[in-house]
Amino acid sequence: MAKGHRSKIKRERNKLQRETRPSAKLSYARVSVQKACFVLDAIRGKDVETALGILEYNPRYASSLIKKLLESAIANAENNNGMNRENLYIAQCYANKGPTMKRIQPRAQGRAYRIEKRMSHITIVLDEKK
C-alpha cells in the first residue's frame, strides 16, 4: 500500500506525467468543430512559419482564430520553455466539441425551428525538431 494521503499521491503522479511541450488552448470558440478541423488539417505537422503563412491567406473565419492561437503557442514556447522559433513545428492540433447554444427561428403557421450555434475547444501543441 502506498504511503501518504491520496491527494498527495495523485499530485506526485501527475507531476511525473505532466505535458512538457508548449501548447495553447482556445475554449468556447464560436466556430463548429467541423469548420475548425478544415483549417487545422491544413497546418498539422508543418513548421510554424509555413503554418502562419497558410493561416494568413486562408479565407475561412476559423483561420483568424487559429492564427492568433498559434502565435500564442509560439510565445509560450519562446518565453516559458526557451525554445527557438525556427525549430518549432505543430506536433498536435485538434478541436473538441464545446457547448451548443440553442436558438429559435420563427417559421410559417406558428412553427418554430431550432438553430444550433455550435462552439469548440481548439488546442495546438508545438514541439522542437530534433
Q: What's the CATH code of the domain at 83?
A: 3.90.470.10
Q: Mean pLDDT throughout 57-70?
A: 96
Q: Which domain holds residue 60?
A: 22-128
For residue 20, what pLDDT is reported? 82
Q: How far apart are CA 52 and CA 31, in angstroms?
A: 19
Q: How many domains does the chain have?
A: 1
Taking the model in full, what pTM does it have?
0.84
Residue 90 inside a domain? The answer is yes
Residue 119 inside a domain? The answer is yes
Q: Mean pLDDT throughout 24-41?
A: 96
pLDDT grade, residue 2 (50/70/90)?
low
Q: How far apart are CA 52 and CA 48, in angstroms?
A: 6
Q: How far apart are CA 48 and CA 55, in angstroms?
A: 10
